[in-house]
């Protein structure tokens, strides 16, 4: 049984079709990185999973039951767009109200524990409106964690978090899925961060799922490239550009050669043309580059 199984899902807003025949499978215990450009249909799909907007056609099954089933819905934790908090109330009060809505028997204990998990125990008495963006995101995730959900649907949960906040969230996510039953769907534009935790990926474009794969499959399909530094960088780039089809300079100032050639061949070629290579390494492209390649139509 999968945590989420979507078949041929479509959603139209008037004449605009936001999601077209989407299929999606999130296995139990997965951290599912849901990736796509702005307006690709990610949020619409997530909202349909959570029952916030009705689907036009297709089926959504959560843990083998229809997504409208109240049993399943009680075990859903959601953060979409913004946490549903009342700005004038404190973080603690907002959490307790949500706990009351969920009819949690041990509300106080759970709220204390979750606030500790997201490192917000010291800010529980702060009014929600006075919280920073990062703190609000943590509160949103804390709200989603209430009630011990089996499935978490988080839309851009890493936005506004500092480096420490992101690390904490990675730990929280990993901890949640470790029992093998709970699953998380995370959509984020911070692909580097997503790659550190995701076990599965789904890439959506124009409302269609264009690829679904595991982290291992991503790793296997990511090409290697050669990154180097030379004494004369501009000449080196000129020479490499004339010989290889794809040469780029990265943010760290390394020249990257994406063509499938051994690094020795690159060094030899540059040496023969009077350029000394000072540093060279081979690396695999990350999720971000893979995604960009995929969007450009290559791989």
Partner 1 sequence: MTQELRFRTPRFSERLRGMLGVDFYRLFHTPMFYIFLTIAAIIPAMVSAMTTMPDQNGNTMEPLYSNVWQIIAASEPLYVINTIADYANMNMVFIFGGIMVSIFIGHDYKSGYVKQLFTTHAKKQDYMMSKSIVCAFAMVCMCITYFIGGTVGGMLAGYSMEVNVVSLVLAVMGKMIMSLGWASLYTFLNIVFRRYFGISIASSFFFGTGILIIGVAAVVESLPLPTTFLNLFLYGSSVNACLTSDAGTLITCVLVSVVWAVFYNLLGTLILNKSDVY
Chain residues that interact with partner 1, rule: CB under 8 A: 28-29, 47, 50-54, 63, 65, 70-76, 78, 80-89, 93, 97-98, 100-103, 143, 147, 150, 153, 179-181
Q: Please say which residue, 150 or 290, places its beta carbon nearer to partner 1.
A: 150
Q: Please say which residue, 76 or 227, places its beta carbon nearer to partner 1.
A: 76
**The token pair that represents 214 in the structure block:** 């595991």
Query: What is the pairing mode between strands 76-79 and 224-230?
Result: unpaired
Rounded Cα distance, 62 and 100, in Å: 24
> Which H or E run includes 213?
strand 208-214
C-beta of 27: minimal distance to partner 1 in Å? 12
- Find residue 32's DSSP bridge partners: 185, 200
> Which H or E run includes 191?
helix 191-197
C-beta of 266: minimal distance to partner 1 in Å? 48
- Find residue 229's DSSP bridge partners: 279
Q: Please say which residue, 51 or 165, places its beta carbon nearer to partner 1.
A: 51
C-beta of 53: minimal distance to partner 1 in Å? 4
Helix (H) and strand (E) counts in the chain: 11, 14
Rounded Cα distance, 103 and 51, in Å: 20
C-beta of 50: minimal distance to partner 1 in Å? 4
Rounded Cα distance, 296 and 30, in Å: 28
Q: Please say which residue, 113 or 282, places its beta carbon nearer to partner 1.
A: 113
C-beta of 82: minimal distance to partner 1 in Å? 5
C-beta of 103: minimal distance to partner 1 in Å? 5
CA dihedral 55, 61, 65, 68 (to 10 degrees): -20
């Amino acid at each position: 049984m999968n945590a989420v199984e979507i078949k041929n899902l479509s959603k139209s807003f008037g004449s605009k079709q936001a999601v077209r025949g989407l299929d999606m499978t999130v296995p139990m215990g997965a951290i599912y990185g849901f990736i796509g450009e702005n307006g690709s249909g990610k949020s619409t799909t997530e909202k349909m999973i959570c029952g916030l907007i009705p689907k036009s056609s297709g089926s959504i099954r959560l843990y083998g039951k229809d997504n409208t089933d109240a049993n399943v819905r009680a075990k859903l934790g959601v953060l979409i767009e913004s946490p549903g908090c009342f700005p004038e109330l404190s973080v603690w009060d907002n959490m307790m109200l949500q706990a009351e809505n969920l009819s949690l028997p041990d509300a106080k204990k759970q709220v204390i524990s979750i606030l500790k998990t997201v490192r917000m125990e010291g800010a529980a008495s702060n009014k929600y409106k006075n919280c920073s963006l990062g703190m609000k995101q943590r509160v949103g995730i804390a709200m989603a964690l209430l009630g011990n959900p089996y499935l978490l649907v988080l839309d851009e949960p890493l936005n506004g978090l500092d480096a420490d906040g992101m690390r904490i969230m990675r730990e929280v996510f990993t901890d949640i899925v470790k029992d093998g039953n709970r699953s998380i769907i995370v959509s984020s534009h911070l692909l580097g961060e997503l790659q550190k935790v995701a076990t599965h990926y789904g890439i959506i474009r124009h409302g269609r799922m264009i690829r679904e794969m595991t982290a291992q499959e991503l790793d296997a399909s990511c090409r290697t490239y050669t990154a180097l530094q030379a004494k004369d960088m501009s000449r080196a780039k000129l020479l490499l550009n004339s010989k290889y089809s794809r040469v780029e300079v990265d943010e760290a100032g390394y020249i990257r050669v994406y063509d499938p050639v051994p690094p020795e061949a690159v060094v030899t070629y540059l040496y023969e043309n009077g350029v000394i290579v000072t540093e060279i390494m081979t690396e695999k492209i990350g999720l971000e580059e893979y995604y960009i390649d995929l969007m450009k139509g290559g791989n």
